[in-house]
Chains A and B, each alone.
Chain A
Amino acid sequence: MITIESVLTCLEKLPALPAAAIRVSELARDERSSAVDFERVIRPDAALTANVLRFANSAYFGLRSKVESVRQAVALLGLKRTSELAAAAALGPIIPSRLPGYEIDASGFWTHCMAVAVLSERLATELRLEHPDLIFTAGLLHDIGKIAIASFVSNCAQEIMSRVHGGLAFVSAERAVLGVDHTEVGSAMAVAWKLPTAVGDVARLHHAPGEAPAGTDRVLIDLVHAADALAHALGLGRDAGELARAVDPGAEERLGIRARFLERVAGKSVDEIRELAQLFAPGRGGSR
């Protein structure tokens, strides 16, 4: 058994999200912020700026003209969207080349993060729901706990997998063997990195949306839960947990999801996911 404190001690050794990306997410929540504030925060970080612009010019964000500056990106996409771009641009380069224990490499993990971000948004659109705040970012960062906990999972991989083969969901096997799981660690990381509360809530509750307490954005948590399940079903970012996960029937009911609907969402999203995933495929695109 390990404690959350010992995991968090390890966290100090991991690369953190760039301070600029965190500052940007704070700015996005402040109604008084302007494009100039954004530019002032992002521009000194050359790698982050380059990556934000690369994202802004991808087909997914649907801009007709080429964006050449952060200020232009903010003008065309808005503050919230640009802060989501900054989160994506910041996450890509800090993913370790391999997550031992989850048997996944940086490229697979990144594909999964992108898949959940895109599918969460697409589910909301197709369900004609108003997009919850931070849905792309919360989807993108739902599994950050895995970055910190991977080496602990690796040390107990055999025991965890034997529980999975016995019929336990992977996240439950983590908790049974280690005493903590990637959702609890992810939520603690969100606090340590000063990420918005909603991002931490999703990291903590994306496997158990039914346990979301009052005051959390339940629609957001349900959407990311469903998107995560769909991404795994489609093989977008396979890891050791594979398909060993439960789907909360309550989340399906609350969202009003039907099987054909999920297939339509999947069909419409897979090319965009691939495009975004390739922007930062390790060794190909990341410029940090």
Chain B
Amino acid sequence: MTMLTVEISDIKVSDNPDDCIVTFALGSCIAVMVHDPVRVAGGMIHYMLPLSETAPEKARARPAMFADTGIPLLFQSMYQLGCKKQDLVVRVAGGGALYDDKGLFSIGKRNYTILRKMFWKSSILIATEDVGGAKSRTARLFVGSGRCTVSSQGEEIDL
């Protein structure tokens, strides 16, 4: 099995059923994982911030840094592999938070809010998710089976 690592602000897609797409250290960042069981393909983005307007020049160089520029790119990359929107199964992990009473560091919450808004506008449903809390996560998507796991603090769950 080949591991494809998604760095921070990065997207990976694959239609090789032997691939496993993985991302580490999802703090307040969010991983969106999409899988097409018909075409047998999968993709993942690890984005860091909600809106590209906070650093437009970075968004041009690295669109996967932001939800609003990165998520459409993930879906387009899947369509380029021949996937159809209605077949895609979407899962979400990350969006953690510090013990922060005033919420200035609640980047995770804002990352998630923007994601929900975008999916609502595009009529995309989230099949399963593991978001929030003071924990950092590692997410894996197995391209062949579509199985998705999230591990954190020594425990692994199937998403």
Contact = CB atoms under 8 A, between A and B. Distances in A.
Interface of A: 108, 161, 165, 169, 229-230, 232-238, 242-247, 249, 252, 257-260, 262-264, 266-268, 270-271, 274
A232 to B, nearest CB: 6
Nearest to A243: B134
Nearest to B96: A243
B104 to A, nearest CB: 5
B153 to A, nearest CB: 7
B98 A245 contact: yes
Contacts of B55: 264, 267-268
A229 B100 contact: yes
Interface residues of B, number: 38
A234 B29 contact: yes
Interface of B: 8-9, 24-29, 48-51, 54-55, 58, 62, 65-66, 96-108, 110, 133-136, 152-153
Given A229-B105, A232-B27, A252-B104, A169 B49 contact: no
Contacts of B152: 242
B106 A246 contact: no
Contacts of A271: 58, 62
A243 B50 contact: no
18 contacts: A234-B27, A243-B27, A243-B98, A245-B98, A246-B98, A247-B99, A247-B101, A247-B104, A249-B102, A263-B110, A264-B55, A266-B48, A267-B48, A267-B49, A267-B55, A267-B58, A270-B65, A274-B8
B104 A259 contact: yes
User: Nearest 6 pairs between A and B by C-beta?
Assistant: A267-B55, A235-B25, A235-B27, A238-B25, A243-B134, A242-B136
A198 B62 CA distance: 36
